[in-house]
Amino acid sequence: MPPSVSKSRNSSSLISEGELKAIFRKHDVCDNGYIGKKELTAVFRELGARNPSWRARQSLNLADLNRDGFISLDELDELVKFVAKQGYRSN
């Protein structure tokens, strides 16, 4: 059973960690489980960040624990927690 994702259409609801993971997966264009700065920038653009490339750099600094320049699947949880804390809202 996948974790239940709220299907609420309330536009003011905060984006959930499950929704964030789905967005990151969608942008993992090579489907190799690694998300680079380019994909991160696209994710933050989709989230409506005012400065997506700056956010991408900031999140790499925080979540890229082994400093290879990519977010791997085991680093994704860190990234999702960080982004969830920013309080982006789903639309």
Residues near Ca ion (CB under 5 A): 64, 66, 68, 72
Choice between 16 and 58, CB closer to Ca ion: 58
Q: Smallest distance from the beta carbon of 41 to Ca ion, in angstroms?
A: 16
Collapsing DSSP states into helix, strand and coil, what is residue 14? strand
**For residue 71, which of 43, 46, 50, 90 has the smallest C-alpha distance?**
43
| Smallest separation, CB 70 to Ca ion (Å) | 5
Q: How far is the CB of 28 from Ca ion (least distance, A)?
A: 13
Looking at beta carbons only, is 47 or 71 nearer to Ca ion? Answer: 71
Choose among 47, 55, 54: nearest CA to 87: 47
Contacts of residue 36, defined as CB under 8 A and 6 or more positions apart, other chains included, come to 69, 70, 71
Taking the least distance from each CB to Ca ion, the nearer of 16 and 72 is: 72
